[in-house]
Structure 1
Amino acid sequence: MNSGRCAACKYLRRRCPRDCIFSPYFPPTNPHRFSCVHRIFGASNVGKMLQQLPVELRGEAAETLYYEAQCRMENPVYGCVGIITQLHQQINEAERELARAQAQIAFHRHASNAHRPLPQQDQLEVEPSAPEAVTDSSWLDQNEFDVSALMSPLDPAWFL
């Protein structure tokens, strides 16, 4: 028998058996931990979940159950899904900001390349297999991309 009852057995007001499934994960020094998990998932369900897992995964499962129970108590409607949703929104906003920055860089590179003087015809090295690729200026006009589609003209990030 353990020297003291685990938090789960104290909470459930029962004797703590030697092979108690809860004792390694819900120590008597932290009764709030089991209280949260029990309130959300129930002691029986938690015990069944832990027994179905290999011993090496039970500690992580108990941590996860505790975290999810805390999230559910703080936000009864969404729980940890609310936090995940917020993080996805932050990732999406960062990706949009990155796309705007990349579009601005591409725009400025294109603008700086447009202001450079073109080399003289006799300075061009033309490969015999594709002479029109270098000498035909319509190629640039046909293959430029429109960065205005990537950002709104009223977007404040455009003016930064």
Structure 2
Amino acid sequence: MAGSGSSGSSSAPCASCKLLRRRCTQECVFAPYFPPEDPHKFAIVHKVFGASNVSKMLQELPAQQRADAVSSLVYEANARMRDPVYGCVGAISYLQQQVSQLQMQLALAKAEILLCVQMQHDGHATASASASPPSLQRRQQQLMESEAYGSLLMQNGLMNSTGAHQQQMLGSAGNTALMLQEACLKKESLWA
């Protein structure tokens, strides 16, 4: 027989034994995780980690953890082939950066909504007292409140240190707040 699989019946050797051109025995550590119909799976793991290293890793693990370890090795090997320098760490870092940017955008959107709602509330209160829009002093106070909200977000860790891009966006929050205030004032003057 050419080789026996992990079950002991005559079948094709596992992908590892086929690639390494050796006899696949019943005790083969690779056979349950690298089936013969998926040779690419072992080939890429072998190319990045080496068969002897993978064999040692699998033998040191309990049997119930080996399948997860193989999945992880295959993922990491594929990531290393796509990005030889950073591998899966590059993908993780990129995703963390995206999450951080989205958190910052969400915080800025919440601050803008809060500011607009507050301006509308103040505008309705001012409109009932007099027909004039909020004073310049009140607009400056609202701008300071939105900047204080931004610094509060930084203190609470919603905006972590992922680079200068976030700081630039935070700096433009004041400009955004001013534009938002002007837009809200224009809407209020149309409603009045």
The corresponding residue for 1:46 is: 54
Q: Which residue of 2 aligns with 1:146?
A: 145
Counterparts of residues 7-86 of structure 1 (less than 5 Å) = 7-86=15-94
The runs of 4+ residues in structure 1 deviating greater than 3 Å are: 153-156
C-alpha deviation, 1:115, in angstroms? 2.4
Partner of 1:134: none
CA distance in structure 2 between the partners assigned to 1:60 and 1:117 by the alignment: 62
| Partner Cα separation in structure 2 for residue 154 and residue 36 of structure 1 | 51
Q: Which amino acid in 2 is paired with 1:8?
A: S
Query: CA–CA distance in 2 between the matches of 1:21 and 1:75?
Result: 29
Aligned to 1:97, the other structure's residue is in SS state: helix
Cross-structure match for 1:99: 107
Identity among equivalent pairs (%): 45
147-156 or 9-18, which deviates more: 147-156
TM (normalized to structure 1)?
A: 0.76
How big is each residue's C-alpha offset from its partner over 1:37-89, in whole Å with a ceiling of 9 and x where there is no partner?
A: 01111111101111111111111111110110011011100101111011011
Aligned-pair CA distance for 1:155: 5.2
CA distance in 1, matches of 2:92, 2:109: 26
User: Gaps (5+ residues) in structure 2?
Assistant: 6-10, 127-140, 151-169, 184-192
Query: How much has 1:154 moved relative to structure 2?
Result: 4.3
Tell me, in whole angstroms, the C-alpha distance in 1 between the residues paired with 2:114 and 2:51.
Answer: 58
Q: How many residue pairs are counted as aligned between the two chains? A: 135
CA 1:155/1:14 → structure 2, altered by over 3 Å: closer, same or farther?
A: farther
1:106 is displaced (CA, Å) by 1.3
Give the superposed CA RMSD.
2.5
How far apart are residue 98 of structure 1 and its match? 0.3
Q: What amino acid is the match of 1:27?
A: P
- C-alpha distance 99-80 of structure 1, shift in aligned 2 (>3 A): same
| TM-score using structure 2 length | 0.64
* 1:52 maps to amino acid: E
State the distance in 2 between where 1:57 and 1:47 align. 14
Q: Which has the larger radius of gyration?
A: 1
More helix by share: 2
Residue 17 of structure 2 aligns with an amino acid whose one-letter code is C
The one of 4, 7, 10 equivalent to 2:12 is 4
Q: Deviations over 1:104-139 (max 9, x none)?
A: 111012212222438xxxxxxxxxxxxxxxxxxxxx
Return the letter of the residue paired with 1:31.
Answer: P
Label 1:51 to 1:25 Cα distance change in 2 as closer, same or farther (>3 A): same
Does the residue aligned with 1:14 lie in a helix, a strand or coil?
coil
